Structure formats: structure tokens, C-alpha cells
Amino acid sequence: MANKPILFYGIEAIRDAGIDRIGIVVGETHKEIRAAVGDGSRFGAKVTYIQQEEPLGLAHAVKISQDFLGDEPFVMYLGDNLIKDGITPFVKGFEKEQPNSQILLARVKNPQEFGVAILEGSRVTRLLEKPDDPPSDLALVGVYLFDASVFEAVNAIRPSSRGELEITDAIQYLIDTKRDVRSQIITGWWKDTGKLEDMLEANRIVLAGLPTRIEGEVDDNSRIEGDVVIGKGTRIVGSILRGPLIVGEDCLIEDAFVGPFTSIHNNVVVRGSEIEHSILLEGSRVEGLQHRMESSLLGRSVEIVRVDRRPATYRFLVGDMGRIEVR
């Protein structure tokens, strides 16, 4: 979001809460994550990597982390979640009250797509995973706080119908065995960025708080409107940039319009095209589009280029879970 990986926001939130020993459970993408995060020193933390050989569930991730965690209380923060105001007050409250577990909740319009909690006061009495008929609109946010009793839970539960050890089942075990499981409701905004729409919304919210900073070159035929960030080595030629938006380093924006809520990463070329409310990752290229591109996400080194040749055809190379709309 705003040219920074979602995972980095989570690491920064954990660090800001006073936690400097961080374990990251990694799977197939471990090489990319290790390369991006390193040893954690850039965040003022020490990072340990815990390899999960198969995606066997969040409770399984806790289970294989026991040697790293020992008997200390800990925060479990799902890497695709974004909480704008951080988790510091929740961590401090957990340290003060010392329940066995504390979960974060948020009111949502579509609780059937989340794990849902039933409360008595602030105490959690029951959890339901993606119920067809939700008893409340209180969804589990991807941040959990536990003491060492959770290891009894993750070792006692059995895999769900999905073949995974579910964290909701582990928390329900704590409830059923009379442990103290409490909740706190988030009042600020929170996003689970697992879907394109949520990623774009999170990007929009983060960009809205960025002040203008121009370190690249903007020629006399270009116009900058609103809050715009332009990185070093980037050239803006004959273009209109209307913020809030961010353009990374070593980019070329030529004869183009870049509209609000757009994040353009490093080494991107946008030429002869209009873009807004979109995310373009490193090395991507957009040239000669006849219509404005909006509400889109381009991965690394993706190219969308208009060519004039016969016969007029569409040619696509699309990764897993991709979506293309044409007219």
C-alpha cells in the first residue's frame, strides 16, 4: 500500500507496540519474504523465520512456533491485515489485564465471510467460522493475543473439514475449558487485504495521509494537483498528476494522466495512457491505452500495451486468480 508491502505495516505495528522479537511463519514464498524483510534490523527488530512446509492452518502455525515463543505471551498478527491506528493499546491492555487470550473484533457488513464472535460483555462465549446465518456482525480481525495456554489448545484440536487446524477452534477450546478469553472492538478502520477491492481501499486510505514530496523531475508541460509524491530519478513529461498518489523511483510518466488514489512502484513506465485508483508494481508498463484504466492491480513487470496491427486481436498472459474486463 502506497508503495510499501502490507507485511511491513504489520511489522511496524508490532515494533511500535514495544515488541522487538518477531517470528515470521513462511511457506512457499519464503525466499521473497526473507529478501524483503531481512534480519529485521531495518525495522529495529530481530526477525526469526519459521518454515511451515504445508498450509495446515493458523493454529498449526502457532503449534510449530512453540520453540520460538517458549512460555511467553505473544501477539499473532496476520500479514495481510492492515490496522491504521496500530495495535499498541491492545497490547498494553493485554499486558495489564493478563487474560489467557484477547481477540480483536470489528463490525462488518458481511459477517458471513469472517469468523464471528458472540459476547457476554467483553468476554467471548462462542466463535463461528463463516456462518450462513451470523448471530452478530462482530468479525475477528487478524490480530490475536495469547498466553502459553494456547499450546494446550492447538495440540488438542483436530483438523477441520478443510484439513486445517483452525485458530477459531483453538480459541473455542480455551473458552470451553473456562479460560479467560476477552475481546476488544476496533473503532478505527481495518482491512483484510485478501481481495482486490480491499487492497484498493486500503491503498486509498493510506494515500490520503501522505504529504507532497517531489524528488524527481517535472517538466514545464506537466501539472501537479493535490498531494503527490514523486521519487528520485523519476521523470514526469507532458502529463497531469492529480493526487493523492505516489510514484516511485526511476519511473517515466509521459503524455499521461495519473489520477487520485494511484500507487506506482519503482521502474514503471506509463506513456500515452490514463490511470486512476490503481496499483502498479515494480517494472510494469502501460502504453497507448485508448480508455482510462481504473480500479486495477498490475503485478511486477506486467505490460499492457496497445499495438496497431491486423488482425486486431487480444493477447493475454494472466496469472492465477486474474481478471480482465474488455469492451
pLDDT number for residue 28:
92
d(CA 29, CA 38): 14
pLDDT band at 7 (very low <50, low <70, confident <90, very high): very high
- Nearest partner of 76 among 84, 67, 65, 92, judged by Cα: 65
pLDDT band at 162 (very low <50, low <70, confident <90, very high): confident
pLDDT number for residue 320:
66
d(CA 310, CA 313): 8
> Mean per-residue pLDDT for 166-191?
91
pLDDT of 327 higher than 80:
no
Q: What's the DSSP call for residue 271?
A: E
- Of 121-130, 196-205, 237-246, 312-321, the least confident: 312-321
Q: Which residues does residue 253 pair with via DSSP β-bridges, in sequence order?
A: 236, 270
Q: What angle, 0 to 180 degrees and rounded to 10, lies between the N-to-C axes of helices 167-176 and 149-156?
A: 110
User: What is the per-residue DSSP string for 205-249?
Assistant: HHHTTPPPEE-SEE-TT-EEESSEEE-TT-EEES-EEESSEEE-S
pLDDT number for residue 24:
97
Give 107-120 pLDDT, tens digit per residue: 988 899 888 999 98
pLDDT number for residue 209:
82
- Nearest partner of 138 among 192, 183, 92, judged by Cα: 183
pLDDT number for residue 321:
67
Give 58-92 pLDDT, tens digit per residue: 999 999 999 999 999 999 999 988 888 899 999 99
Average predicted confidence (pLDDT) for the chain: 92
Give 186-240 pLDDT, tens digit per residue: 887 788 887 888 889 989 989 998 999 999 999 999 999 999 999 999 999 999 9
pLDDT number for residue 131:
86
